[in-house]
């Protein structure tokens, strides 16, 4: 599987509600980061919309499945449109990939549109990859946003 | 009847009672936190918002001035301008104003009939500062800030006193979240000890399955938030035992809920020992003990501010329309506290109060359901009668709920609202 096909595969898992399979794409030491500020340098002394290590990401998926997860039951219907995929840096251990994301979500009679610059750091695993780091910079991260319950 | 055990549902749903261009008189008459003293530096213009109106703040010779954010010439936002020689300059045509808001320079002055020029800007009538929090009131008269705050002053004291350096600063970014619901719905939620077991059931469940908090030196980034989510699932007896106070102005605060042993960098943790040591160095052993024995949780300063002094978070609700509200969430760094304490504040904000968090998102979903339910017109009244008739009046003007889950906070908020609306 090439890098581009892998990112499409990841998007497809999210769009078909296969959250547990999506979670399995992440390495045990993975981080999943949606910064609050534009060009945010670090996640420990500045807040983030989402800043999860693998444990928190797993809890996030578990919460989404809880029957009383009011903001997540039912899950939003989504389309993750991945574009502009470019390998930024290829090392033996990791491949850094930049892409863009357009996400359409529909829930509670409301459609929302998101745009983001995305960075993946991928590690080879057999003929596929695993995600060691995913950073999603929403173009409107500093804006007034309704609650966010989708996964980017 | 308002202010009793019921609340007329129209308060939340009828646009006539909530025109964003002419805010409720309750809102206009009250004091609102509009900025933090440290953020308003000499020579700098700070834009803020109050009840749908844009404001500009600046400091001159130590004093803070708050004006409506528009130039009286053509209405451009002054906050986009600059300060020069003690005057604020509008970037559109260069009109400038001194600290009293009086018009100074007018380029192309010969083109105007001098006596017909407008005299000056619209200042916000009243501005007052308490412990570094800048409050403004759009009303010309009314109770002073300290009278308005009443016993809720203690919550601000607790907030600031906990800083070893005696000061707080806003840091770590500002969340701005919105929901399709009335502003009151948020305030009616923050002191409601009966909702977490239901609304937050899913985050309580996953937090219980999370790894145990690490020993000193082995803490996880998220321990502070996992502890809070677990605490949301505390047994009913815990919720009934907490203290719930209200004031005549509709403020409320919750106490005896968290103590510092429940914080991550809490009692028994070397970081907390270092923190306490620095506090002791400044205020002495006895005063440090007194400060740390105050265990206030959420405080609401009705009708727009809510904060957690121990966790150093403050939220302001901005009414946008009868069914739309925007909330700004600030984190605070305590001067001279160990760095880890601010990192805990940030982690807590992300996981509990953030726009994409486990906890807040469920609250927002419920506010929207409330708005939709109340908008149906099916009932004229909702019931806020838990603990009604058993409130305990205290000598200092506060009233205490018979139990921690008393709906006294909602009755106090609506009583304050009714009183202002009938003025």
The CATH number covering residue A16 comes to 3.10.450.50
Report residue A6 CA to chain centroid gap.
13
Contact A47 B364 (CB under 8 A): no
For residue B26, the model assigns a pLDDT of 59
What interhelical angle do B339-348 and B270-283 show, nearest 10? 120
For residue B357, the model assigns a pLDDT of 95
For residue B297, the model assigns a pLDDT of 84
Domain housing A114: 3-138
- Best residue of B49, B198, B206, B208 to probe chain A, by most A CBs closer than 10 Å: B206
CB-nearest partner of A71 from B171, B210, B361: B361
Instruction: Tell me the residues of chain B between 213 and 242 that have a Cβ less than 8 Å away from chain A.
Output: 220-222
Cα separation, B51 vs B68, in Å, equals: 12
Contact B202 A142 (CB under 8 A): no
Q: Spell out which residues of chain A touch residue B365, defining contact as CB-CB under 8 Å.
A: 70-71, 147
Residue A69 lies in a domain: yes
Could you tell me where in chain B the CATH 2.102.10.10 domains are found? 31-129
CB-nearest partner of B203 from A40, A55, A63: A63
Residue A149 lies in a domain: no
Q: What percent helix, strand, coil does chain B show, rounded to 5? A: 35, 25, 40
Q: What separation in angstroms does the CA of B216 have from each of B56, B163, B271?
A: 45, 22, 8
Tell me which residue of B142, B133, B103, B144 sits closest to B120, measured CA to CA: B103
Q: Spell out which residues of chain A touch residue B350, defining contact as CB-CB under 8 Å.
A: 47-51
Contact A71 B222 (CB under 8 A): no
- Best residue of B181, B202, B222, B331 to probe chain A, by most A CBs closer than 10 Å: B202
Residues B269, B214 contacting (CB under 8 angstroms): no
- Please tell me the CATH code under which domain B151-421 is placed: 3.90.380.10
Dmax (CA) of chain A: 47
Tell me which residue of A41, A122, A27, A134 sits closest to A80, measured CA to CA: A134
| C-beta atoms surrounding B43 within 10 Å | 11
Which superfamily does B31-129 belong to? Rieske [2Fe-2S] iron-sulphur domain (2.102.10.10)
From first CA to last CA, the distance across chain A in angstroms is 21
Ramachandran region of residue B75, left (φ > 0), alpha (ψ -120 to 50) or beta? Answer: left
Residue A144 lies in a domain: no
Contact B177 A147 (CB under 8 A): yes
Residues A26, A131 contacting (CB under 8 angstroms): yes
Could you tell me where in chain B the CATH 3.90.380.10 domains are found? 151-421
Average confidence (pLDDT) over B385-389: 95
Contact B173 A70 (CB under 8 A): no
- Mean of the per-residue pLDDT values for chain B? 89
Instruction: Say yes or no: B204 contacts chain A, CB-CB below 8 A.
Output: no
pLDDT confidence bin for B2, thresholds 50/70/90: very low
Instruction: Say yes or no: B49 contacts chain A, CB-CB below 8 A.
Output: no
Residue A150 lies in a domain: no
- Look up residue B48 and give its two tokens: 């803020």
Res. B20: pLDDT tops 50: no
Instruction: Say yes or no: B310 contacts chain A, CB-CB below 8 A.
Output: no
Residue B174 has phi, psi (to 5 degrees) of -120, 120
Cα separation, A68 vs A72, in Å, equals: 9
Q: Which residues contact B237 (CB under 8 A, 6 or more apart)?
A: none
- Look up residue B77 and give its two tokens: 């936002």
Determine the 3-state secondary structure of B246 from DSSP. Answer: strand
Contact A144 B177 (CB under 8 A): yes
Q: Could you give the dihedral angle defined by the CA atoms of residues B181, B203, B406 and B319, in that order, rounded to the nearest 10 degrees?
A: -20
pLDDT confidence bin for B294, thresholds 50/70/90: confident
pLDDT confidence bin for B107, thresholds 50/70/90: very high
- Look up residue B145 and give its two tokens: 């800030």
CB-nearest partner of A149 from B346, B349, B361: B361
Q: Which residues contact A98 (CB under 8 A, 6 or more apart)?
A: A84, A85, A86, A88, A117, A118, A119
Residue A63 lies in a domain: yes
Say which residue, B420 or B54, is predicted with more confidence: B54
For residue B396, the model assigns a pLDDT of 86
ipTM over cut 0.90 = yes
Res. A63: pLDDT tops 70: yes
Average confidence (pLDDT) over B184-210: 95
For residue B259, the model assigns a pLDDT of 55
Cα separation, A140 vs B220, in Å, equals: 29
Give me the residues paired with residue B56 across strands: B47, B67
Average confidence (pLDDT) over B388-411: 94
Instruction: Say yes or no: B354 contacts chain A, CB-CB below 8 A.
Output: yes
Q: How many domains does chain A have?
A: 1
Residues B327, B177 contacting (CB under 8 angstroms): yes
For residue B1, the model assigns a pLDDT of 36
Instruction: Say yes or no: B362 contacts chain A, CB-CB below 8 A.
Output: yes
């Amino acid at each position: 599987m090439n890098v581009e096909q892998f990112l499409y595969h990841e998007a497809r898992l999210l769009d078909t509600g296969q959250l547990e399979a999506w979670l399995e794409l992440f390495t045990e030491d993975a981080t999943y980061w949606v910064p609050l500020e534009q060009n945010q340098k670090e996640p420990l002394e500045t807040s983030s919309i989402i800043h999860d290590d693998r444990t928190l990401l797993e809890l996030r998926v578990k919460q989404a499945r809880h029957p009383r997860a009011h903001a997540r039951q039912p899950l939003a219907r989504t389309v993750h449109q991945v574009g502009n995929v470019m390998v930024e840096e290829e090392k033996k251990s990791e491949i850094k990939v930049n892409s863009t994301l357009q996400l359409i979500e529909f829930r509670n009679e409301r459609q929302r549109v998101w745009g983001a610059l995305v960075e993946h750091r991928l590690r080879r695993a057999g003929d596929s990859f695993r995600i060691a780091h995913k950073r999603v910079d929403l173009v409107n991260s500093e804006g007034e946003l309704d609650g966010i319950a989708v996964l980017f | 009847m308002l202010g009793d055990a019921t609340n007329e549902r129209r308060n939340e749903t009828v646009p006539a009672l909530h025109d964003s261009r002419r805010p409720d008189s309750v809102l206009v008459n009250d004091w609102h936190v509009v900025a933090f003293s440290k953020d308003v530096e000499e020579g700098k213009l700070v834009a803020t918002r109050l009840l749908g109106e844009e404001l500009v703040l600046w400091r001159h010779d130590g004093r803070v001035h708050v004006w409506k954010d528009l130039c009286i010439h053509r209405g451009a936002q002054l906050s986009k301008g600059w300060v020069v020689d003690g005057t604020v300059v509008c970037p559109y045509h260069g009109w400038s104003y001194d600290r009293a808001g009086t018009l100074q320079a007018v380029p192309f002055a010969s083109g105007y009939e001098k006596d017909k020029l407008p005299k000056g800007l619209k200042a916000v009538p009243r501005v007052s500062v308490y412990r570094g929090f800048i409050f403004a009131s759009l009303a010309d008269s009314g109770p002073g800030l300290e009278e308005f705050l009443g016993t809720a002053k203690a919550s601000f004291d607790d907030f600031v006193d906990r800083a070893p350096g005696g000061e707080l600063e806003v840091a770590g970014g500002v969340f701005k979240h919105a929901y399709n619901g009335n502003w009151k719905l948020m305030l009616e939620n923050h002191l409601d000890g009966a909702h977490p077991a239901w609304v937050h059931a899913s985050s309580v469940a996953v937090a219980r399955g999370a790894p145990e908090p690490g020993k000193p030196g082995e803490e996880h980034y998220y321990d502070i938030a996992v502890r809070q989510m677990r605490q949301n699932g505390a047994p009913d007896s815990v919720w009934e035992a907490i203290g719930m106070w209200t004031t005549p102005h509709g403020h409320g605060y919750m106490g005896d809920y968290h103590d510092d042993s429940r914080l991550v960098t809490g009692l028994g943790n070397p970081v907390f020992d270092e923190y306490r040591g620095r506090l002791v160095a400044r205020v002495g052993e006895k005063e440090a003990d007194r400060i740390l024995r105050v265990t206030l949780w959420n405080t609401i300063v009705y009708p727009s501010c809510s904060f957690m002094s121990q966790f150093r978070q403050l939220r302001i609700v901005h009414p946008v329309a009868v069914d739309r509200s925007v909330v700004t969430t600030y984190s605070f760094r305590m001067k001279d506290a160990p760095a880890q304490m601010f990192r805990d504040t940030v982690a807590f904000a992300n996981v509990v109060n953030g726009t994409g968090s486990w906890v807040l998102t469920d609250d927002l979903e419920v506010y929207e359901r409330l708005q939709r339910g109340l908008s149906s017109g099916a009932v004229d009244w909702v019931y806020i009668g838990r603990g009604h008739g058993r409130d305990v009046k205290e000598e200092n003007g506060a009233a205490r709920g018979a139990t921690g889950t008393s709906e006294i906070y909602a009755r106090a908020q609506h009583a304050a609202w009714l009183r202002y609306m009938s003025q």
